[in-house]
């Protein structure tokens, strides 16, 4: 509710694992006929969707249902959107002399809100103020199992920096009042390819289909190939390819977990950083390369609008590209809806057979 700063959740004296919750998840459009702002054109799925909910203190949850003339559905939706935007801006608030607080990832399953506080030769110091995915125990387990991890999973990503590094050893940490301070020993930045020298790949049209040009499949190379490589790298789900089972992105996972929240675009940016900066170990070709090849830094990634075109969502990418400098482009990314079976069981044998020669 605009202007209401009442807290709705807090600790409970009943135990360390207990909370007191005095907030209310209210409907914007009523769930049943006769309720406030009921819309007969909505489906049952739309009525129970998070998009039809707004979180309020107990006082204001009663007030909006006592005054439908003032609290129209359009007003409640605007308040919700504005509050989520405000929360996102607060998450981006300046913290420290140079960098904003944002997502920091240590490997695939430890993500926190924090900041890079120091860089000294091959050592990054990072402060995490809150865990978003995983916790301190997950961090300890990651460090203890570091030597057995696949090289593709040994990394640190810093959203505010727009960059990441492969870790040369497991991170060490210490507690600092309410924060966790990490010491990460990192490898040098992996070499990128000049975008003007990118190799040839298949082109796709506005419908995201390959097409024929002058009697042959259309191809692109050099800088013209960069949007296609970004589209391919982000649209392929990790585990989808029988030839490269560790390739691809986790954007589908993030979409299912965080769509309609301020976290989603941050997760997308984090995943673009991983594909831009962390080398992929290609066992079939026995070589390493960063999946996005030419991207040096990820300056910003934003979803364009809120509408989907089937399984496609368009994002605006602001990137620093090798040989080009700052580069901006809107690119559609495939994010399938619903549960997706990645591959038939036989595919794993196919990929294994090819990898083993």
pLDDT digits (tens, 9 = 90+) for 106-130: 999 899 999 899 999 899 999 998 8
65 alpha-carbon distance from chain centroid: 36
For residue 353, pLDDT beyond 70: no
Q: How confident is the model at residue 259 (pLDDT cuts 50, 70, 90)?
A: confident
Query: Residue 322: is its pLDDT beyond 90?
Result: yes
Q: Give the mean model confidence (pLDDT) for residues 147-162.
A: 94
Strands 295-303 and 212-213: unpaired
Map out the domains of the chain as residue ranges. 9-91, 102-185, 195-355
Q: What is the pLDDT of residues 189-198, one digit of tens each?
A: 999 999 999 8
Give pLDDT, residue 323: 94
pLDDT band with cut points at 50, 70 and 90 for residue 354: very low
Q: Which pLDDT score is estimated for 149?
A: 94
Q: Per-residue pLDDT for 132 more than 90?
A: no
The reported pLDDT for the residue numbered 343 is 57
Region 83-88: mean pLDDT is 72
The helix or strand, by DSSP H or E, that contains position 117, with its residue range, turns out to be strand 111-120
Angle, CA of 14, 19 and 20, to the nearest 5° = 95
Task: State yes or no: pLDDT of 355 exceeds 60.
Answer: no
Q: Give the tokens for residue 134.
A: 């995983």
Which pLDDT belongs to residue 95? 43
Q: How confident is the model at residue 310 (pLDDT cuts 50, 70, 90)?
A: confident
Angle (nearest 5°) at CA 281 between 106 and 204: 100
Confidence band of 96 (pLDDT split at 50, 70, 90): very low
Nearest-10 Cα torsion for 144, 145, 148, 151: -100
Residue 206 reports pLDDT greater than 60: yes
Which positions ≥6 away from 216 have C-beta within 8 Å?
A: none
| CB crowding 172-205: b at 16 or more within 10 Å, else e | ebeeeeebbbbebbbeeebebbebeebeeeebbe
Q: Is pLDDT at 99 greater than 50 in this prediction?
A: no
Q: Give the burial string for 117-130 (b: 16+ CB within 10 Å, else e).
A: beeeeeebebbbee
Asked if residues 249 and 273 have their Cβ atoms less than 8 Å apart, the reply is no
Q: Is the pLDDT of residue 351 over 50?
A: no
254, 267 contact by CB (below 8 A): yes
The answer, yes or no, to whether residue 301 has pLDDT greater than 90, is yes
pLDDT digits (tens, 9 = 90+) for 17-64: 888 988 999 999 999 998 889 999 999 889 988 889 999 998 999 998
């Amino acid at each position: 509710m605009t202007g209401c700063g009442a807290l709705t959740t807090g600790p409970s004296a009943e135990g360390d694992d207990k909370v007191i919750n005095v907030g209310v998840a209210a409907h914007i459009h009523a769930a049943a006929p006769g309720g406030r702002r009921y819309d007969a054109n909505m489906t049952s799925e739309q009525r129970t969707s998070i998009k039809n909910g707004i979180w309020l203190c107990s006082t204001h949850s009663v007030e909006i249902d006592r005054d439908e003339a003032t609290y129209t559905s359009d007003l409640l939706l605007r308040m919700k959107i504005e509050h989520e935007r405000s929360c996102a801006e607060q998450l981006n608030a300046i913290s420290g002399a140079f960098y904003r607080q944002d997502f920091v990832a240590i490997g695939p399953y430890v993500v926190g809100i924090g900041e890079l506080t120091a860089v000294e030769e091959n050592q990054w110091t990072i402060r995490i103020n809150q865990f978003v995915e995983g916790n301190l125990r997950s961090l300890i387990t990651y460090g203890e199992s570091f030597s057995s991890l696949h090289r593709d999973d040994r990394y640190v990503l810093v959203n505010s920096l727009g960059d990441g590094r492969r870790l040369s050893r497991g991170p060490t940490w210490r507690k600092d009042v309410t924060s966790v301070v990490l010491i990460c020993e990192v490898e040098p930045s992996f070499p990128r390819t000049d975008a003007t020298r990118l190799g040839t790949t298949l082109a796709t049209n506005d419908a995201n289909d390959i097409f024929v040009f002058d009697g042959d499949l259309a191809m692109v190379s050099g800088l013209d190939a960069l949007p296609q490589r970004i589209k391919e790298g982000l649209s392929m789900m990790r585990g989808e390819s029988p030839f490269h089972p560790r390739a691809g992105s986790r954007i589908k996972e993030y979409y299912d977990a965080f769509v309609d929240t301020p976290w989603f675009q941050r997760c997308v940016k984090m995943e673009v950083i991983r594909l831009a900066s962390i080398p992929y170990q290609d066992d079939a070709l026995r070589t390493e390369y960063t999946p996005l090849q030419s991207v040096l830094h990820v300056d910003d990634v934003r979803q364009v609008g809120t509408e989907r075109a089937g399984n496609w969502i368009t994002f605006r990418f602001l990137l620093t590209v090798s040989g080009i400098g700052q580069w901006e482009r809107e690119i559609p990314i495939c994010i399938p809806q619903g549960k997706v079976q990645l591959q038939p069981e036989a595919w794993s044998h196919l990929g294994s057979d090819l990898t083993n020669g």
